[in-house]
Structure 1
Amino acid sequence: MNDQHLPPHHRETGADTTDLAAVLAGIERTNELLTRVLAEVATTPSTHAVFVDAGYVYAAAGRLVAGTEDRRAFELDAEGIIEAFIDKARTIFPDSRLLRVYWYDGARRRIHTAEQQGIAELPDVKVRLGNLNANNQQKGVDSLIRSDLESLARHRAISDAVLIGGDEDLVSAVEAAQGYGARVHLWGIEAVGGRNQAEPLLWEVDSQRTFDLDFCKPYVTRRAAYEPLSEPAPHRGPVPAREDVRFVGARVAAQWLGARGRDTLADLLPGHPYLPGAVDQELLVEAEGLLGLSLRGHADLRRAVRDGFWDHLRMQF
């Protein structure tokens, strides 16, 4: 007897039974699929990458071991320290595989030096170059770090990122990666007095680690015959206090007011607390000249220079 000859309530019961069976079959297929996905996730190792601001490593390690940030005054065993970073990451993330080490450095016209070519040939290492200006200062490195860190986190290529650097400009890179679920671990090198990593950066990361003199010493060798040519003598003595550096920033602002005019500097006020890149670079270079000290590796002192600059400008307008 087919359904059309059944009473209405019998026909509905048969249809309901068929629909229920279809639903149950669908749920079972979904459960099987979820079980397979979870099994694959459970057997897929997590992945980490190491992002190294080479300028920070050279400056911080050079100052700690050789007493200078001038690269010409010492040799850094880049291969050795990269391998040490990889080994340290392996112990901290024992169940994770290394994607690669990203080594960010500066070069004139982004053309690799012989040393950078050697680093690029190392296994599991990718060299990324920003520009190097006339004052041997890196430009564009922070944006490269942010781009790579954000892209890898967005595509779930990494679960953990080790960031070795100190600039406050890296805060946005950390926030972007964390927004996609990656954990960011900040590694640094022991500072000689004060800090060489920006406090806002320390606040944002998921964990911190600092390498001391004993860790860095095997990888830094001072060149005994080095003599600076037409360069200011390396800074000797204690690092200046933050308030003294802040005063220097105000002094630069006062000099600029006299030389550039009020209208030019008044145009900067709407951008507070940020300065255009070119203006900020000029400010730091002039401050370094007055201090007789490179501010590379001194994120707190760079902020003090900027604070003093803004303090003076805001008092004038």
Structure 2
Amino acid sequence: MGRVGIFVDAGYLFAQGSVTISGDEVKRHFLSLNEQAVIAQLIASANELTGGAPLLRIYWYDAISLKGPNLEQKRLASSNNLKFRAGTLNGSGQQKGVDSMIVIDMIELARNHAISDAVLLSGDEDVRVGVQFAQNYGVRVHLIGIGVDAESQNQSESLWQEADMHLRWTADVVSGFLSIRQAPVKPAQVAEEPAVVGQAAAANGTAANDEQAVSIISRVASEFVQALVHNDLVLLKQHLASKTMIPPEFDAKLLGKSREAIHRQLTPAERKMARKSFIEQVKSR
């Protein structure tokens, strides 16, 4: 029995996955991915489409920012049975180089008889040529779409027609591995004196003093942790069990929210305190 290769366009997964579970496209930084759950779902769907062909590996295509991969991308790259292929982001936040990598990998694996089946999660017309070449080498290509039915119109019609078999992931399936993070929250409106003073200062456009800032920043860290979706909390707890640095994508939000709350730049001591409070809150949850 031949082997199956799974090819995942992460941009399509995040964009259409968010539409399916929320009704509208959600920006990437508000989405949380459970990487082990999505890997399990991809393998289960491949088994359904191919009748149980053994897995070669999953190829995951995603764009990384100039700052480097985020925590989810690092964990995906370290996952069993998965090869992470990195594209780039342009100035508009659009991924570049992903479609060509999918096409090249599909053609090369098919030409070398490394796979008998290809399972493709994508909607882009540009990958259709890879499907055609793979089929010419005898590979059966199966297409996974996201949405209720073909009328969702989030996949190229010609790509859909080219595939040998089709499968669609509904909201119930997608919500098993993708969730939406809460939008940034500001410190709660409470009656405790430090917060009230801080709010009054904010209303007047003035900055909180050092004593007020400590209380407000601590509250920001606490509410940030409370707002984390379950998967983010699990990832952070695992990360901080062996490391002392907060992942950049969470650190930037923490410091940004703290600056907004006290209406000025944080001092080095305040940045250190914000991070320490955040880490303690994560570990205590």
User: Which bin holds the TM-score, normalised by the shorter protein?
Assistant: 0.5 to 0.7
Who is 2:154 aligned against? 196
Who is 1:60 aligned against? 16
Superposed counterparts of 1:95-106, under 5 Å: 95-106=52-63
Name the SS for the 2:21 alignment partner.
Answer: helix
Shift of 1:88: 2.1
Name the SS for the 1:153 alignment partner.
Answer: helix
CA distance in 2, matches of 1:226, 1:201: 38
Shift of 1:163: 0.4
Shift of 1:109: 4.7
Distance 1:179 1:110, change over 3 A: farther
Tell me, yes or no, if the aligned pair for 2:49 and 2:142 is still in contact at 8 Å: no
Residues 77-86 or 162-171, more deviating: 77-86
Residue 186 (structure 1) aligned with residue 150 (structure 2):
no
Which one of 67, 74, 82 corresponds to residue 31 of structure 2?
74
Name the SS for the 1:196 alignment partner.
Answer: coil
5+ residue gaps, structure 1, are 1-44, 228-317
Shift of 1:226: 3.6
CA distance in 2, matches of 1:103, 1:204: 21
Which one of 95, 99, 111 corresponds to residue 142 of structure 1?
99
Who is 2:183 aligned against? 225
Who is 1:119 aligned against? 76
CA distance in 2, matches of 1:110, 1:99: 31
Who is 2:165 aligned against? 207
CA distance in 2, matches of 1:110, 1:185: 35
Superposed counterparts of 1:234-273, under 5 Å: none
Who is 1:241 aligned against? none
Name the SS for the 1:96 alignment partner.
Answer: coil
Tell me, yes or no, if the aligned pair for 2:87 and 2:95 is still in contact at 8 Å: yes
Shift of 1:205: 1.1
Instruction: Name the aligned partner's letter for residue 99 of structure 1.
Output: L
CA distance in 2, matches of 1:76, 1:143: 24
Shift of 1:219: 1.8
Instruction: Name the aligned partner's letter for residue 150 of structure 1.
Output: I
Tell me, yes or no, if the aligned pair for 1:103 and 1:128 is still in contact at 8 Å: yes
Residue 172 (structure 1) aligned with residue 133 (structure 2):
no
CA offsets, 1:201-227, max 9 Å, x none? 011111111111111122222222348
CA offsets, 1:250-293, max 9 Å, x none? xxxxxxxxxxxxxxxxxxxxxxxxxxxxxxxxxxxxxxxxxxxx
Shift of 1:95: 4.5
Shift of 1:191: 5.9
Who is 2:189 aligned against? none
Larger Rg: 1
Tell me, yes or no, if the aligned pair for 1:53 and 1:165 is still in contact at 8 Å: yes
CA distance in 1, matches of 2:127, 2:67: 21
Residues 200-209 or 90-99, more deviating: 90-99
CA distance in 2, matches of 1:225, 1:57: 21
Instruction: Name the aligned partner's letter for residue 218 of structure 1.
Output: G
CA distance in 1, matches of 2:163, 2:50: 16
Name the SS for the 1:46 alignment partner.
Answer: coil
CA offsets, 1:142-194, max 9 Å, x none? 00000100000000000000000000111111111111111110101006974
Distance 1:188 1:95, change over 3 A: closer
- How large is the Cα RMSD of the aligned pairs? 1.9
Shift of 1:68: 2.6
CA distance in 1, matches of 2:154, 2:182: 26
Q: Which has the higher helix share?
A: 1
Name the SS for the 1:123 alignment partner.
Answer: coil
CA distance in 2, matches of 1:120, 1:112: 10
The percentage of aligned residue pairs carrying the same residue is: 38
Aligned residues: 183
